[in-house]
Amino acid sequence: MTLQTVAFIGTGIMGKPMARNLLHAGYPVRAWNRSATKAQELSAQGAEVFDTPALAADGAQVLICMLSDGPTCDDVLFGENGAARALAPGALVVVMSSIPVETAVEHARLSAALGLRYLDAPVSGGERGARDASLAIMVGGEEAAFEQGRDVLAAMGRPVHVGPAGTGELSKLVNQLIVASTIAAVAEGLLLAERGGADPSKVHEALMGGFVDSPIWRQHGQRMLTNDFTPGGPAKWQLKDTRTALAHAQKLGLTLPVGLRVDGLFQSMVDAGDGELDHAGLIRQLRRHNSLPE
């Protein structure tokens, strides 16, 4: 069986290992990244690298977009020389970035006008999940579009079709609110253990296997213990997503008090100059709040 050719737009922290897994699965990959050197690193694994998104998309059956935010996706995909315009009718556009629900719905409309199919398919699992092809992939769009892209998505993780266009992004907002709140709770718990006289690393070990245990407890808790905040998910993007989630909740007539408080903590972290750090670095902001050494 001939595998579909994939154009991969955005080969940064997450995109590069995702594209690499597609190559390992045998998919022909045509790559583009704004910082060209990040895309060039994939050429050794067999990717073709192009100077513009449109050139990368030309001839592809599936276009995957893994860019930073909604406006960037709008411009790169549907701008005057947008990559989506270089696709043949019937091709599939898959936006795996975290973007507003309304943006995904508009993308689906624009794709249909070009004779294309569309999926919004944001991911969770961080850089490790991207490397290990174990990402949770939340997919919104038509069933036929999902079937068209299922195998491509499965090469990067575990895709689940959750509903029509926009619901993949809605699922990601749910994910990001829970992630942000859990990171804050883990940071508070480890600070409490430390201040109370326990060895935080032993508390971290003792709670594994219980109800507290989770990837965030294991991975981000360990980051907090070792002060390793090399960004897998930068705090500035966590803040972007919580803001988007709260704005959407407001449109639905919901007030989310825990989300509002956690969003404020991440805003304080970014304001303090830690926006480029991993979101586990929130513990530094809690230390500052309590006048403790960072």
Give catalytic residues, as residue numbers. Answer: 172
Amino acid at 236: K
In 10 A of CB 3, how many CB atoms?
Answer: 15
How far apart CA 28 and CA 161 sit, in angstroms, is 24
SS (HEC) of 14-41: CHHHHHHHHHHCCCCEEEECCCHHHHHC
How far apart CA 264 and CA 272 sit, in angstroms, is 12
